[in-house]
Structure 1
Amino acid sequence: MDSSRRVDTTMFLGIDIGTGSSKAVLAAADGSIVDRASVTHDVELPHPGWAEFDAEAVWWQEIAVLSRELFSRNDAGSLKGVCVSGMGPCLVVTDDAFTPLRPAILYGVDTRATAEIAELTEEFGPGSIFETCGKDLSSQAVGPKLRWLANHEPEVFARATHWFGLNSYIVAKLTGEYIQDHHSASQCDPLYDVRRLDWHPEHVAAVAGHLATPRLAWSDEVVGTVTAAAADFTGIPAGTPVCAGTVDAWAEAFSAGVQQPGDLMLMYGSTMFLVHILSEPRSHPMLWACSGVTKDTLTLAAGMATSGSLISWLRQLFGDVPINQLLEEAAAVQPGAEGLLVLPYFAGERSPIQDPDARGTVTGLTLRHGRGHLLRAAYEGMAFGVRQILESVEGSGEPVRRLVAVGGGTNAPLWTQIISDITGRTQVVPHQTIGASYGDALMAAIGTGSVPADTVWAQPDHTVEPNPANVEIYDRLFDTYAGLYPAIRDQMHALAAVQRDYS
């Protein structure tokens, strides 16, 4: 928008802090976009298997950078509410002044706590953890990372008084309030009871020890107001209501109107992520049961380890050929990529197999195959993985009634078409696919009572229908695809062990 323009309207600020960038949006009460801003950043990778951020120097600083940019062009006096989401679940430990004592430990991409996962699983019992948390402990869980801190950095753990996720840390900096939203808490396994929607006191005491336990709040709930000190730093007016916020994928699902039981979001990004809204508590060993965004809601979720990141890697191998040219080449290849299959486990895999030692595999390669075949087979491999996940979702007992596709990958028609063809599902693509920051703005509007609680800003743009002509070839290849991983899992694990020797 014109930098000289000043907008005088009721506005809501949503900010999402992602792995590669932070994005902010100002939205009006009708969902129209007033303005937006973004800034990029890099993840710190200090050791193999570690992924960190400086929460104060990056996250908190970027809140100020984005807010000040937007309010240099818009009337801050028209702001009625703020909400922040971010990658997660993350772990930030601080002192009483909310000053971080070490870099933030990121979500499932940080795999340092493998030994602590085993330790806590033995301590509480795998069956008990699954019953309480709705999922097994994994690198996604916060509890093992807290235990890792106690085991490996005991002096830091002893000095810490508070622990946060990304959004709750920003809430504390903005308002002085110590909270955790229910959804983020439900990924702090084994500390939260997903059936009772509350902390599990014995597990909290055993894992978090002396740390104060944060107050729970729903993501669209106002938990405080911006303090004078935070206003001076960020430019957000003092007294502005602040909602709890949540993890980015759930904020994005909310932005896309995925709010009713049977709704499922399929997010096309650097990874594929799925969020399914439930009508009652359900679980599945290959999925993550979690609380939702709004009061008393529940979800099942799944996330693949690579998707868009795999396509970016292939582009680099191909010499950074323009993506449109590669997509044309892949589209010219017949469905099934002439018998080429890719297992997309190039960074291990979360869903549908939950195996960090799985490895990427190209099977059926011949001298006839070119880069168009490889690219198409990569898209098809991701789609076969999505099909496996959807089968697990429906195996939980909650049918998928509506599938909403979001994320930058929806701009690649070949990708979305392959997903529909392989899964047999119609996808609804919203007109507005800004992402989690748009969902944050909607939560701020709802939480402040400025719009009704059932407000949905997202409007459908188009649908992607499966092509019946491709059913036979994809059904045939799916059976082969599903059999590949169990057939070569031991060999994958052996190679993963060799690769660790090179770290």
Structure 2
Amino acid sequence: MMRCTLGVDVGTSSTKGVLVAEGGEIVASATRAHEVDRPHAGWVEMDARVWWDEFTGITGELISAHPDAQIVAVGVSGMGPCVLLADENDEPVRAAILYGVDTRSGAQIQRMTDELGAEEITRVGGSTLTSQAAGAKIAWVSDEEPEAWRRARRLFMPASWLARRLTGAYVLDHQSASQTSPLYDIEGESWYEPWWQRYAGSIEQPRLTWAGDIAGEVTAEAAAGTGIPEGTPVITGTIDAWTEAVSVGAHEVGDLMLMYGTTMFLVSTGEDTLRTPSMWTTAGAFPGTRNLAGGLSTSGALTAWLKGLTGADYPDLLADAEASGPGANGLLVLPYFAGERTPIQDPDARGVVAGLTLAHTRGDLYRAALEATALGVRHNVETMRAAGADIRRIVAVGGGTQGRLWLQVVSDVTGLVQQVPQTTIGASYGAAFLAATAVADTGSAPVITDWNPVTATIEPDLNLREFYDTLFDRYLRLYEGSKGVVHELAAEQRGRRHG
């Protein structure tokens, strides 16, 4: 028998699973694509029952294809922070509300900030309240959907939902809990009782553990539904961006993980609790670490939109974009097609394409979109550093790392060297590693750099530094100069969709 760990991650656009051998080799992988629901402007949600259905489908596929695999532990991971409220029988009372791309809770953010005080919220939880704050979305359900709220008894996120279905344990990791602002005390590493009782008093508090801790063992019922042997240990898991950082070894002090996906995420790791109004301060995936994190609301989603709009395939678009060259022949794009998270924290921001002429091509547009995401990354990195983040190493991960051009554009725009590891499949691989670590004998725990060594380094073209410094300045000024009109358009969009 071949000893393996199983890692499964529920992402924004798909659920991915991997079967990983003891040395880190991926034995097999499986994916189930899905879509989120956008029933109103600013709403992004998903039926949580899909998560379990896809989990069981993936495990069934992997296990049946490899009957010689002995699964010794299971790792779980998922997008977040999400808000899935369930009743006393663990039945969802409504669709899960997704992370910061869902911007419905603006009124609750304002009310809670007024009631508690922005300074006190930051002192307790580390971050101001933004569209990323899961606590404000809990309050939204309480305010706007009283029937669902009346039945709500438990709080889950994708990873903890899978852990619950597999083991019966009701747990949540500290990292995810720290994004349930303002309900978590970051220095005390515990739920903040006064505010939990005020805004979520009828919800049973999940037990807090760390991402790699064992939540429980696979029950007989879960074994029958998944094919995973009864009694197999399951870790608590955490949010996908943090699991991705684990998958590439970018969770040490001084590391910055840059995740290329449907959205883009950045996680800087340190020992100190850094606070800045425009970023997210969180607990780390491991005890003794803190993170300063940020995220773009669109990255891969923007390039996918252009692909659909043009009808071209990615290889052709990338070739056209490469031919377009730096600056996209005078185009500049703001990538705020779904509002923006950090560092501007503006749910009413919208995409802007500036400089268009009849001479511009689809390659120019695609190049400008890649540069837009890179400019957004630079804005985040500079904001982190201004807050005191010591960023010594950048590690890239996610599906977007398969294309060299996007990586090169980001390095050129930011001036940063990026390391690309051998395996960039992401959070499912990190979940499998955490599971392997959780059941390893003392002194024989796996090392991620052995599992997943760096195989490519992207160096910035220093000849482009001055050019991109100028473009970044224009990027910042374009947002400030256009946001008044853009906010009016966003309000009109909301009124039209609700009317």
TM bucket (normalised to shorter chain) is: over 0.9
Structure 2's unaligned 5+ residue stretches are: none
Alignment correspondent of 1:49: 42
Amino acid at match of 2:26: I
- Give the drift of 1:390: 0.7
Alignment correspondent of 1:334: 325
Alignment correspondent of 2:217: 225
Alignment correspondent of 1:447: 438
Q: 1:372 to 1:54 in 2, by over 3 A?
A: closer
Alignment correspondent of 2:112: 120
- Give the drift of 1:229: 1.2
Check conservation: 2:45, 2:98, Cα contact below 8 A.
Answer: yes
Distance 1:463 1:206 in 2: 49
Check conservation: 1:186, 1:290, Cα contact below 8 A.
Answer: yes
Distance 1:466 1:152 in 2: 49
Q: 2:23 aligns with which of 25, 30, 37?
A: 30
Check conservation: 2:270, 2:390, Cα contact below 8 A.
Answer: no
Alignment correspondent of 1:240: 232
Q: Deviations over 1:325-362 (max 9, x none)?
A: 22222212232223321111111111221101111112
Q: Report the more deviating stretch, 418-427 or 72-81.
A: 72-81
Say whether 1:382 aligns with 2:373.
yes
Alignment correspondent of 2:128: 136
If the length of structure 2 is used for normalisation, what is the TM-score? Answer: 0.95
- Give the drift of 1:86: 0.8
Amino acid at match of 1:491: V
If the length of structure 1 is used for normalisation, what is the TM-score? Answer: 0.95
Check conservation: 2:101, 2:339, Cα contact below 8 A.
Answer: no
Distance 1:478 1:156 in 2: 45
- Give the drift of 1:455: 4.2
Q: 2:70 aligns with which of 68, 78, 85?
A: 78
Distance 1:126 1:166 in 2: 29
- Give the drift of 1:461: 1.2
Amino acid at match of 2:125: C
Say whether 1:491 aligns with 2:485.
yes
Distance 1:338 1:96 in 2: 58
Q: 1:467 aligns with which of 461, 475, 480?
A: 461
Amino acid at match of 1:261: V
Distance 1:269 1:42 in 2: 14
Amino acid at match of 1:27: V
- Give the drift of 1:204: 0.8
Q: 1:326 to 1:161 in 2, by over 3 A?
A: closer
Distance 1:82 1:264 in 2: 26
Amino acid at match of 1:484: L
Distance 2:28 2:127 in 1: 39
| Partner SS for 2:338 | coil
| Partner SS for 1:348 | coil
Identity of aligned residues (%): 48
Distance 1:29 1:174 in 2: 22
Q: Deviations over 1:23-62 (max 9, x none)?
A: 1111112111121111122223333332222223x11122
- Give the drift of 1:449: 2.4
Distance 1:372 1:40 in 2: 27
Distance 1:86 1:25 in 2: 14
Amino acid at match of 1:490: G
- Give the drift of 1:414: 1.5
Segments ≥4 residues shifted beyond 6 Å: none
Q: Report the more deviating stretch, 108-117 or 47-56.
A: 47-56
Q: 1:282 to 1:31 in 2, by over 3 A?
A: same
Q: Deviations over 1:233-266 (max 9, x none)?
A: 2111111111000111111111011121111111
Alignment correspondent of 1:349: 340
Distance 1:70 1:325 in 2: 33
Paired residues in the alignment total 494
Amino acid at match of 1:333: S
| Partner SS for 1:72 | helix
Check conservation: 1:222, 1:244, Cα contact below 8 A.
Answer: yes
Structure 1's unaligned 5+ residue stretches are: 1-7
Alignment correspondent of 2:411: 420
Check conservation: 1:197, 1:296, Cα contact below 8 A.
Answer: no
Amino acid at match of 2:456: H
Say whether 1:178 aligns with 2:170.
yes
Check conservation: 2:12, 2:262, Cα contact below 8 A.
Answer: no
Distance 2:168 2:241 in 1: 25
Distance 1:452 1:82 in 2: 16
| Partner SS for 1:11 | strand
Distance 2:496 2:237 in 1: 40
Q: 1:66 aligns with which of 45, 53, 58?
A: 58
Amino acid at match of 1:375: Y
| Partner SS for 1:78 | strand
Amino acid at match of 2:388: G
Q: 1:86 to 1:284 in 2, by over 3 A?
A: same
